[in-house]
Amino acid sequence: MNSSHDEIITKITTAKLGKIVKIKLAYKQESQLIHSIRITGDFFVHPEETIEQLEQGLCGVKLEKEDLKNKIHWVLKNSEFFGFEIDSLVDVILDTKGDKNKI
């Protein structure tokens, strides 16, 4: 299928990890690539700008566990974060693609 016909699906989920994490995910249905993602919640990340870098870095990444995990590890490697673990963040992103709402 031509990528211009790859429909973009938007979904939102909220999960209670160590802290609340909300994901707004837009992804391409056919290719399963992230079109855009917004990660919000009451967690802590130092430096704070890392989350914006993560949101930008995840664009174009395939919605598969290893791909997501590798990208998140790479972007967060020099930061400290509290309120979620990388594995649980990956699971929430994948859950967002499905229809599971944890809260």
User: What gap in Å lies between CA 61 and CA 81, rounded to an integer?
Assistant: 22
DSSP assignment string, 14-52: EEESSSEEEEEEEEETTT-BEEEEEEEES-EEESTTHHH
Token pair in block for residue 49: 């700008």
Smallest distance from the beta carbon of 24 to another protein, in angstroms? 8
Smallest distance from the beta carbon of 46 to another protein, in angstroms? 6
| CB of 33 or CB of 45, closer to another protein | 45
| CB of 38 or CB of 65, closer to another protein | 38
Q: Which of 49, 48, 46, 53 is nearest to 79 (CA)?
A: 46
Smallest distance from the beta carbon of 53 to another protein, in angstroms? 13
Contact residues: another protein, CB under 8 A: 19-20, 22, 39-48, 51, 80, 82-83
| CB of 62 or CB of 102, closer to another protein | 102
- Find the helix or strand (DSSP H, E) in which 72 lies: helix 65-76
| CB of 46 or CB of 73, closer to another protein | 46
Smallest distance from the beta carbon of 38 to another protein, in angstroms? 8
